[in-house]
Structure 1
């Protein structure tokens, strides 16, 4: 009887911990207005045979302003200024841009830096894995570019995001040294087209 009570208590504690991941995600979107971190991104092919790794820095300021600065192995900058998303590839000296409303929707960037959550995603418990508590965020639009997303927290700290796209490709962002509520200059989310760069409007 005692063993059954202990098992039931452990099971209840596990369910509560998983439920907390969803609440932690809600609190993150509601309360954390700015943040920055280093990141490592690992992209795995649908068959699991091929992996690509890149790294850089991520910053955001709600609503709808963020900056991904890829540094290795190739440089690339992605900036959302509240109106448009700009992608700059210095090797090609090429810039592409599109309206924020078209570029975001139910995407990882919208999840992390957007102003809405419940309207774009169905939230559920993702369980414990790798020392993190995960919240599952399934886009409400079934024909979008992503099948599912998971957001991992270490306590209340954002630790990882894992995405599976419509082709079965898996991308994982692991964050290091996440800082919440930091003062970020407004010009971090302003993009100026470099001289001579080709600009593609989408």
Structure 2
């Protein structure tokens, strides 16, 4: 699924100062948080709004350019970025694929959370509060980013949600819980070892 690949991240008042503070909260998060882990739930909605799929799992990241999305059954999947490649593994199919980091990351949602240069890759704009969260829009500066829009939701200063619309109009909402900032993460959390009997497709 395209959205899972990128996988894998401010209460706004109506005042100008509050909106500026929301953007600053995202900048502070990217600047000050060097590693993190959280649980997440994800709802993916088809372009016509008629179909939805709900998944959940855990997310870990460490700057620069290392992250790990582990989706739980029945939609089990593992996505790992080790700083050089992005690996995707489907246990049900026993199939893994890898992509060079330079091709797979770019100006993507994962880059916003785990990358190294927020303002180089994105144009930021504060949005009105919605559903108890403060929202910032992050538009990619490069045309071939693979998604139409990305919104980041904060509750106070804490990252709470991501809303993504991909290049095909499919939308995804990720809500984060149990967020831990700047934990010490083991190096092997961002290493992928091909399981015995699995096929590898490299691009």
TM-score (norm 1): 0.92
Taking CA–CA contacts closer than 8 Å with sequence separation of 6 or more, which of the two structures ends up with the larger relative contact order? 2
- After superposition, give the CA deviation of every residue in 1:116-159 in whole Å (9 maximum; x if it has no partner): 11111111112211111111000111233111100000111110
- After superposition, give the CA deviation of every residue in 1:141-198 in whole Å (9 maximum; x if it has no partner): 1233111100000111110000111221111110011110111111100111111110
Q: State the match for 2:131 in structure 1.
A: 130
Aligned counterparts of 1:88 and 1:192: Cα–Cα separation in 2? 10
Aligned counterparts of 2:13 and 2:105: Cα–Cα separation in 1? 37
Unpaired segments ≥5 residues, structure 2: 1-11
1:34-183 mapped onto 2 (5 Å cutoff): 34-183=35-184
Question: In angstroms, what is the RMSD of aligned CA positions?
Answer: 1.4
Shift of 1:17: 1.9
1:111–1:12 CA distance, 2 compared to 1 (3 A): closer
SS in 2 for 1:91: coil
Shift of 1:12: 7.8
Determine if contact 1:18/1:128 at 8 Å carries over to the other structure.
no
Shift of 1:60: 0.3
Q: State the match for 1:28 in structure 2.
A: 29
Q: State the match for 2:18 in structure 1.
A: 17
Higher alpha-carbon Rg = 1
TM-score (norm 2): 0.91
Unpaired segments ≥5 residues, structure 1: 1-10
Aligned counterparts of 1:13 and 1:54: Cα–Cα separation in 2? 34
List structure 1 runs of 4+ shifted beyond 6 angstroms: none
SS in 2 for 1:112: helix
Shift of 1:18: 2.0
